[in-house]
Amino acid sequence: MKRTTKNPSRRLQVEQQLAEQLARLVIPALAGDLPLISITRVELAPDLKSGVVWATAAEAVSQHEVVNRLTSQLPRYRAVLRPLLSLRYFPNLTVRYDEGQAESIRIESILDQS
């Protein structure tokens, strides 16, 4: 029998903790190499064993580059985050570029120019 999270608030709490902790790790680690990268959200599966980290960059930078850089750092982040979260299994995370967030930043910059 598969074990799933029956309490959605637990999943939301873990998602929020992961997003906050990843943001603290990502900003200093990649500060010199890439423009500011933001972790916009983390979405976990109901069983908390897998999830997606959504990220975006504040300036024009290749989506592929952002995803590759964060993906290459995931094992290090996992080692740091594992003791901070009270989880039986640490989720297997993948990184995706959050185009919606990037689009809203682009629209805001156009509006600021007007």
The DSSP secondary-structure symbol of 83 reads G
* Domain count of the fold of the chain: 1
- Using an 8 Å Cβ cutoff, are 51 and 93 in contact? yes
Model pLDDT for residues 40-79, shown as the tens digit of each residue:
899 999 999 999 999 888 776 778 888 888 898 889 889 8
| pLDDT at residue 16 in the model | 94
Percentage of the chain surpassing pLDDT 70?
A: 82
Residue 2 within a domain? no
Residue 64 within a domain? yes
Range of 43's domain?
8-113
Q: Indicate the average pLDDT of the chain.
A: 82
CATH for 92: 3.30.300.20
